[in-house]
Amino acid sequence: VYRFSSDANLSFKKPILLGVATLSFFLGGLGYWAATAKLESAAIAYGDLSVLTKRQEIQHLEGGIIEKLYVQEGDLVKKGQPLVQLSQRQPMAKLDAVSGQYIHT
């Protein structure tokens, strides 16, 4: 029967403890970041609008951030009536970037 020496047990414990500590530090940092980070992006999604006669799908080609919502669920709307107002921040930023590129070329 072979018996392990206490030195052999210690040689395995150090790397295992270091690995556990590193993993704990990484997961703790990830959790802290997830709880406190401000994300400056928007999720683009499609929506459905229910009308009395049939469902109408509302889509925007490039998505955007809704700045104002003019209707609520159950409201009757007329043709041409604005339903939402999209934020101009992203399109204006793109326009500024393209304008800057155009001027410098």
Tokens, residue 88:
């101009």
Q: What is the dihedral of CA 80, 81, 85, 91, to 10 degrees?
A: 10
Q: What is the mean pLDDT of the chain?
A: 78
* pLDDT bucket at 21, cuts 50 / 70 / 90: very high
What's the confidence (pLDDT) of residue 22?
Answer: 97
pTM over 0.85: no
Average pLDDT over residues 83-98: 80
Tokens, residue 33:
């970041």
Query: What element of type H or E holds 48?
Result: strand 47-50
Higher-confidence residue of 55 and 25: namely 25
Is the pLDDT at 71 greater than 80, yes or no? yes
What's the confidence (pLDDT) of residue 31?
Answer: 94
What's the confidence (pLDDT) of residue 32?
Answer: 93
Separation of alpha carbons 82 and 58, rounded Å: 12
The structural domains of the chain, with segments of one domain joined by +, span: 47-103
Q: What is the dihedral of CA 77, 68, 62, 94, to 10 degrees?
A: 150
Higher-confidence residue of 104 and 4: namely 104
